[in-house]
Each structure stands twice: as C-alpha cells, then as structure tokens.
Homo-oligomer: A and B are copies of this chain.
C-alpha cells in the first residue's frame, strides 16, 4: 500500500508552481457512476486568476467523453513512487479496466466536483470546464481550477516528465535565481 500524503488547501492561483514545470499528470473523472483515470502530459497553465489550465485530451480516450459530458475533472500530480502506475494507466483503457482497482489507488471524494481525488498523489486540483471552444478542433479543454489540495512536504516533489519512447526524465535539483528577478516579476 502506497503512502497517502496528508494534503492541505492551497490557493488556486498557485497551481503554476506544480503544473508549469511540465510533469505528467493523472486526470481523474466520473460520469454516471463510473470513474476513470488517464495519464496526460499535454497541458499548460493559461491564467492565474481565474486559475485556468489547458489540457489536450485525445478524442480516442475513454476519459474524453466522460470529461466532456460531466464538464469536470481532477488533475492529480503523481511522483516517482507512482511511476509504474503512471505507465500502466496510460497503457490500458477505462473501457475495459477499473483503473483505481487495477492500480491500487485510493479514490477520495472531492469538495466541489464529482470526479475523485487520487489519494496517493502529491497534489490534486479540482477543475470545472471553462471553455470548450477548441475541443472539436484540437481536443483542447480550458478548465478552471476551483480547489487545490497539496501536500506541504516535500517542498519540491520528484515528478515525472515524459519525453516519448517510454522514457521519462525526473525533476532534479533546484536553482534559485529570485535575487535576479524584478520584484513585480516574482
């Protein structure tokens, strides 16, 4: 059984701290009594306030229809302790598999959306669909993060960053250059 990190509320405007570095995320969804999880690396922050993020969720994914129809999802941030689950989730379909059961993950209730949090992840961001203008053309969903749950430690979790070909790079050492920033840029 993997450790379930204790999480606290975090301001939704600080989501960039976790998503801007570009980690692979696990996107959970719920629709008509069913839950699902997908592995996703194609996302970007779009705005601080409201806290907007963009996700490319390919049309063939079982999650695509669940998220489109429910207008909700949770973006969960896995660390390297979950590497094999991240790979496994990305290599099977929710059409055939209950991914929470298969990968031994804990579905925890969210506060504002029906999609479950993944208890084993370092952070979970509850999202509501904000704009679907680019869904039909690019499968690109704009979500508003409406609640953020973040483990206070470690300060910089070891995240997975996908390069294709089955290879991830792991987040490494930190470089602090805050002394070189203009105050209004921090």
Chain A residues with CB under 8 Å of chain B are 14, 16-18, 20-23, 41-47, 52, 54, 56, 80, 83-84, 87-88, 90-91, 131, 133-134, 137-138, 140, 142, 156, 160-182, 185-186
A165 / chain B contacts, CB cutoff of 8 Å: 17, 178, 186
A140 touches B54 (CB 8 A): yes
A137, chain B: closest CB distance, angstroms? 7
The one of B80, B90, B138, B162 in contact with A21, judged by C-beta atoms closer than 8 angstroms, is B162
The one of B41, B44, B133 in contact with A54, judged by C-beta atoms closer than 8 angstroms, is B44
| CB-CB under 8 A for A17 and B164, given A172-B169, A177-B84 | yes
A112, chain B: closest CB distance, angstroms? 22
Q: Could you give 22 example pairs across A and B, Cβ below 8 Å?
A: A16-B164, A18-B163, A20-B164, A22-B23, A22-B161, A41-B45, A46-B56, A47-B56, A47-B138, A87-B180, A88-B180, A133-B133, A138-B142, A156-B163, A161-B161, A166-B176, A166-B177, A166-B180, A167-B175, A169-B172, A169-B174, A170-B171
Count this chain's copies in the assembly: 2
A186 / chain B contacts, CB cutoff of 8 Å: 164-166
- For the complex, what is the distance from the CA of A160 to the CA of B167, rounded to whole Å? 18
A18, chain B: closest CB distance, angstroms? 8
Between A22, A46, A131, the greatest number of chain B beta carbons within 10 A of the residue's beta carbon is seen for A22
A41 / chain B contacts, CB cutoff of 8 Å: 20, 45
A91, chain B: closest CB distance, angstroms? 5
